């Protein structure tokens, strides 16, 4: 077995993350940073330093490929049997992070069962079938700056809600590209949908495709810390982009997103137009709170629902 650790990046300094991972890299492993034609010269220079590390190299395409295509290109570039995808804005918080994944593979013949009562799959004594493993996402102990409070509070609330039990129960819906391990052959048989050029829901689409094909997902407790906390104005813009992407997708995929499920219920109850009108009226007040120093997550949920209703 050989492992390829793949880190896609664009204008983000991932040199510290790579050094953390390289210290844990197996002797026959490799680490490839996929620089999707970054434009920041300082960041390019910092990331170039990793080429001096054993087992590490940088892959740069001829032109900017986008979030999905750069990951697909990295998978084709990799030589390992297993691919460990890690977002560039992650931080390793365990000295046995890679070992935990390798141990999970080694235990694929264990007699334990992973019962799933939600939208996942029952794996009873046959872990050898599992060829996708998700480690999870953790957060910093405190918000790094006031401007990032909206994103930080959202991520902390999500981490509390997405326990290991919950992730295993809803294995496909809780698939995330932030930190996951997958057999190379399995990934190349699916790949990320390159039609998605804007931010949002690449992981939703990939998880749904795994479900369609009956490919099991094993969720384990092997988190990375998420460092990429945008200021509130940037995060709101990214959220709106993700909602527009969701609105353009097919019905089956929308059934896997909480916002679209709520919107569909409102539509059945003939309340979608009412929600749209309320959003237009109260949007300035909602944004004032969310962009302020004390954003409320309940108002953020209402903003997302209202925005989604307004673009349906």
Q: CA 28 to CA 192: how far, in whole Å?
A: 27
Phi, psi of 261 (to 5 degrees): -65, -45
pLDDT in tens, 66-90: 999 999 999 999 999 999 999 999 9
**Domains delineated in the chain:** 3-229 (3.90.550.10), 233-311 (no CATH)
Residue 122, pLDDT score: 46
Most confident option among 126-130, 177-181, 195-199, 256-260: 177-181
pLDDT in tens, 219-230: 999 999 999 999
Q: Which residues pair with 83 in a beta bridge?
A: 4, 182
Where helices occur in 54-94 by DSSP H, the ranges are 67-77
Q: What percentage of the chain exceeds 70 in pLDDT?
A: 91
135 in Cβ contact with 224 (< 8 Å) = yes
Residue 256, pLDDT score: 76
Residue 197, pLDDT score: 61
pLDDT in tens, 239-282: 999 999 888 887 777 887 889 999 999 999 999 999 999 999 99
Strands 123-124 and 113-114: antiparallel
Residue 113, pLDDT score: 44
257 in Cβ contact with 248 (< 8 Å) = no
With bands split at pLDDT 50, 70 and 90, how would you rate the model's confidence at 125? Answer: very low
Q: Which two tokens stand for residue 136?
A: 């999870």
Altogether, the residues listed in the chain come to a count of 312
Q: Which residues pair with 80 in a beta bridge?
A: none
- Over residues 161-189, the mean pLDDT reads 95
In the chain, the N- to C-terminal Cα span, in Å, equals: 47
192 in Cβ contact with 59 (< 8 Å) = no
104 in Cβ contact with 219 (< 8 Å) = no
pTM metric for this prediction:
0.90
Residue 102, pLDDT score: 95
Q: Residue 180 pLDDT more than 70? A: yes
Phi, psi of 7 (to 5 degrees): -125, 100
Residue 101, pLDDT score: 97
Half-sphere exposure of residue 44, counting CA atoms within 13 Å on the CB side?
A: 8
């Amino acid at each position: 077995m050989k492992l390829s650790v793949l880190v896609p990046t664009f204008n983000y300094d991932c040199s510290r993350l790579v050094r953390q991972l390289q210290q844990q890299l197996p002797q026959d492993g490799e680490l490839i940073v996929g620089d999707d034609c970054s434009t920041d010269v300082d960041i390019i220079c910092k990331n170039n330093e990793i080429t001096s590390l054993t087992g590490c190299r940088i892959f740069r395409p001829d032109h900017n490929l986008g979030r999905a295509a750069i990951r697909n290109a990295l998978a084709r570039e990799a030589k390992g049997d297993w691919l460990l995808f890690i977002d560039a804005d992650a931080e390793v918080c365990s000295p046995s992070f890679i070992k935990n994944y390798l141990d999970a593979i080694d235990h694929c013949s264990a007699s334990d069962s992973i019962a799933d009562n939600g939208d996942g799959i029952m794996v009873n004594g046959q872990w050898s079938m599992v060829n996708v493993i998700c480690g999870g996402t953790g957060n910093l102990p405190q918000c790094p700056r006031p401007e990032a409070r909206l994103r930080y509070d959202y991520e902390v609330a999500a981490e509390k809600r997405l326990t290991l039990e919950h992730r295993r129960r809803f294995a496909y819906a809780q698939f995330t590209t932030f930190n996951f391990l997958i057999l190379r052959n399995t990934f190349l048989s699916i790949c990320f949908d390159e039609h998605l050029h804007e931010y949002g829901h690449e992981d939703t689409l990939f998880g749904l495709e795994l479900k369609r094909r009956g490919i099991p997902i094993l969720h384990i407790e092997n988190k990375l810390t998420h460092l990429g906390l945008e200021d509130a104005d940037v995060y709101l813009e990214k959220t709106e982009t993700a909602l527009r992407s969701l609105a353009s997708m097919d019905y089956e995929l929308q059934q896997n997103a909480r916002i679209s499920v709520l919107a569909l219920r409102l539509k059945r109850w003939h309340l979608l137009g009412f929600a749209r009108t309320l959003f237009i009226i109260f949007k300035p007040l909602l944004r004032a709170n969310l962009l302020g120093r004390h954003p409320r997550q309940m108002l953020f949920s209402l903003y997302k629902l209202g925005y989604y209703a307004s673009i349906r």
